[in-house]
Structure 1
Amino acid sequence: MDAFTDVHGTAEDGWEPVRTAFAQNFTRRGDAGAAFALYRHGRKVVDLWGGAASAGEPSGKPWAEDTVQIVRSATKGVAAACLLLLHQRGQLDLDAPVGAYWSEFKAHGKERVTVRDVLAHRAGVPALDTPLTPEQALDGTTGPRAVAAQKPQFPPGAAHGYHAHTYGWLVAELVLRASGRTVGRFVAEEIARPLGLDLWVGLPPGQAHRVGGTAETVTPEPAVSGALRARPKRSVQDAYADPESLTMRAFGAISPRPDENDPAYRAGELPAANGITDARSLARFYAALIGELTDGPRLFVPATLTAARTVESEGPDRVLIVNTRFGLGYMLHGPASPLLAPGSFGHPGRGGCLGFADPASGIGFGYVTNAMQKNVTADPRAQALVRAVRECLR
């Protein structure tokens, strides 16, 4: 089989290994439909797509140049930019208590939680005692109200744990309180429109026909024994196997799991989980965080960029179990979330998607896929592309 079968788009001279890696994701690593784009020093150098627009339907509609895809937690990097832009404009103080903007959040000893803690996953509320239904999660009020009323699961500020879903309600409410706009409107007006991105948190009806369908490509987790429940969690696999673990409670803050192919879910505003975009927009977004685009503005001034990628939380993650590293809303390069180089920052999406920037090399990276595999970070398809980019930079 031709290594480039079913791959469309362009890779400039010198970036051929990236095209090869992208093609091999289909032939060797189980991709169904996907796209990849790369910016270097503000200019697009790779723009590829291929496969089927809906995972599980290889004979259906092909992935087109304008296909967009839900990117799960890769949305968190876009959400972080909203708070950082508000800080950059003097509308939000990162070191102010969340309660200064949102008085209801002070309940149960959370009065000292800062905006910085929220972005660094130190707020102490990664899970809810009572999970929300998908309808409640999407209504714009029940989620923030539940997080505000939640008793912390670990001392706020003293440890960190990945806020898989609650991060979105925290960020959304802070954006609303500081700007008077919903997070979806803020993204549209302050990020997507100035940069010319196909990027939404809350999909407009007129764009629904462009979204590819997602599908899980993994088997269900095995049932857990009582002995496993009782022992300390030594790995994320242990934690995933125990429905009572903080890990599963954090990822299960919305229950049952929402149907990502449901138009109502796609139209809602969940800045931790349901952003919809394409690879070129994700790469362009990250390129704009670190410098001027050849045809667009820069988003972060140097001081904001430095703050975004400075280590805020590092070490054992109460939710992901492994050691993680976070800046202000962004995962930082490390063993748990390998990016391009030590200075890289960005965010993966559970199941495969990945967006990040590397200031030293001027890289903005975007990979989206509809074949959701059993990975929170370090997806093998995304990592194959990272390795290929690294090879091209040598």
Structure 2
Amino acid sequence: MTMVHGTWRDGFAEVRDVLAANLESGLDVGASVAVYLDGEPAVDVWGGYEDAARTRPWRRDTVTTVWSVTKTMTALCALILADRGALRLDAPVARYWPEFAAAGKDGVEVRHLLGHTAGLPDWDEPLAVEDLYDWDKATALLARQAPWWTPGTASGYHALTQGYLVGEVVRRVCGRSIGTFFAEEVAGPLGADFHLTLGPEQDHRFAPIIPRERSASAAAPPPPVPLRTIVTPEDSWRAGWRRAEIPAVAGYGNARSVAAVQSVLAGGGAAGGRRLLSEAGARATLSVQADGVDLVLGAPLRFGVGYGLNSTDIDLLPNPDTCWWDGWGGSVVVADLDARMCVAYVMNRMRAREYVIGDRRGTSVIAAAYRALGTR
């Protein structure tokens, strides 16, 4: 069986074995898996290669693009500010960002941004990839445009825009960019190796995303509300992409760092001996913002404040007070507030098909973690 490096507690060997099997079968090229219980690591394993040619081994400190798992990091920043009383989730966005009130958005609340119900899933005119590097342009355009549907009435996945929307609110509230706030208030205190930008000094340990093979048969039907700004996996290879703050999709880490951060939610606001949220502040994410067919993804989803929530449409998660999100290509994180467990899977090879939550690589890791707890 393929060599997997790292550590695991007694009873969690199956989680390691699942990663090894994924690597051995070729489903994964390089990947990492982490399970945290009560804010402490129970599993921390990695293996495979950083590159498609399989010449550079995946190392303990290898990081890669986790795509929309990044949204959970951005959301956590907003939850922390709300818990401190600096931000109200039910307040109009315009209270903190006055220009946002334009075009009938004076009633849009902060929670609508976090729950994908604000009606701003894309820009009216599609942006070039280089425009995404320009924070002021991206946010000013969103502030000026009208919602695509009545805010608060339905979710429509804000694939790229959510990071700018939430990030600009954070910046207006605390005077720091979302990347700086995250580094200073979240990653730093937790000692988590996760980044919302990646500097040139980190490039030597960056594993580029390996795109999936494209075929006509893999084409998905168009969504009810199609997005206009197009991003490709290859865009994440650009140095400009890594240097910019694109906090809905451009976060960099591995399973250990993802789980170290998101175990704050699973642990009721604390992890690794550091408390970032009150118990109530952590549970705020469980407040349902939308429950139905998402207008952009075309799939039934239940959204809380910044995270997907467990629902009858997901048979993988056994406990009700569980939040999750996954990234384009396969990375996924689950924070279970009932079991006080966080599971993360991060990889560099994109999955072959589109799924709403993970694929068999990530879901098999999650299922093995629950079996280790005796809950599946």
Q: Does the TM-score normalized on the shorter chain lie above 0.5?
A: yes
Q: Which residue number corresponds to residue 246 of structure 2? A: 270
> Which amino acid in 2 is paired with 1:326?
F
CA distance in structure 2 between the aligned counterparts of 1:254 and 1:112, rounded to whole angstroms: 29
Corresponding position: 1:177 with 2:157 = no
CA distance in structure 2 between the aligned counterparts of 1:261 and 1:286, rounded to whole angstroms: 26
CA distance in structure 1 between the aligned counterparts of 2:15 and 2:218, rounded to whole angstroms: 39
Closer, same or farther: CA 183–264 of 1 in aligned 2, 3 Å: same
The match for 1:298 among 275, 291, 302 is 275
CA distance in structure 2 between the aligned counterparts of 1:256 and 1:34, rounded to whole angstroms: 21
- Displacement of 1:19 in angstroms is 1.1
Q: Which residue number corresponds to residue 105 of structure 2? A: 110
Q: Which residue number corresponds to residue 200 of structure 2? A: 205
CA distance in structure 1 between the aligned counterparts of 2:35 and 2:232, rounded to whole angstroms: 36
- Displacement of 1:42 in angstroms is 2.1
Closer, same or farther: CA 8–105 of 1 in aligned 2, 3 Å: same
The match for 2:303 among 323, 326, 333 is 326
- Displacement of 1:220 in angstroms is 4.2
TM-score (norm 1): 0.89
What do the CA deviations read for 1:32-88 (whole angstroms, capped 9, x no partner)?
11000111122211111111112x222x10101110111000000010011111111
The match for 2:260 among 264, 284, 289 is 284
Closer, same or farther: CA 73–381 of 1 in aligned 2, 3 Å: same
CA distance in structure 1 between the aligned counterparts of 2:263 and 2:149, rounded to whole angstroms: 35
Q: Which residue number corresponds to residue 57 of structure 1? A: 53
Cα contact 1:324–1:337 (8 A) shared by 2? no
Q: Which residue number corresponds to residue 327 of structure 2? A: 349
**Aligned residues, how many?**
370
Listed as ranges, the matches of 1:37-76 within 5 Å are 37-54=34-51, 56-58=52-54, 60-76=55-71
Regions of 4+ moved over 6 Å: none
> Which amino acid in 2 is paired with 1:210?
R
The match for 2:221 among 238, 251, 265 is 238
Closer, same or farther: CA 258–115 of 1 in aligned 2, 3 Å: farther
CA distance in structure 2 between the aligned counterparts of 1:47 and 1:217, rounded to whole angstroms: 26
What do the CA deviations read for 1:180-214 (whole angstroms, capped 9, x no partner)?
00000001000010000101101122222111111
Gaps of 5+ in 2: none
Closer, same or farther: CA 384–80 of 1 in aligned 2, 3 Å: same
Please state whether the residue corresponding to 2:333 is helix, strand or coil.
Answer: strand
> Which amino acid in 2 is paired with 1:349?
G
Please state whether the residue corresponding to 2:33 is helix, strand or coil.
Answer: strand
What root-mean-square deviation, in Å, do the aligned CA atoms of Structure 1 and Structure 2 show? 2.0
CA distance in structure 2 between the aligned counterparts of 1:379 and 1:146, rounded to whole angstroms: 35
Closer, same or farther: CA 20–128 of 1 in aligned 2, 3 Å: same
> Which amino acid in 2 is paired with 1:333?
N
Corresponding position: 1:382 with 2:362 = yes
- Displacement of 1:222 in angstroms is 5.8
Corresponding position: 1:393 with 2:376 = no
Closer, same or farther: CA 386–112 of 1 in aligned 2, 3 Å: same
Closer, same or farther: CA 352–298 of 1 in aligned 2, 3 Å: same
Gaps of 5+ in 1: 225-236
CA distance in structure 2 between the aligned counterparts of 1:202 and 1:43, rounded to whole angstroms: 26
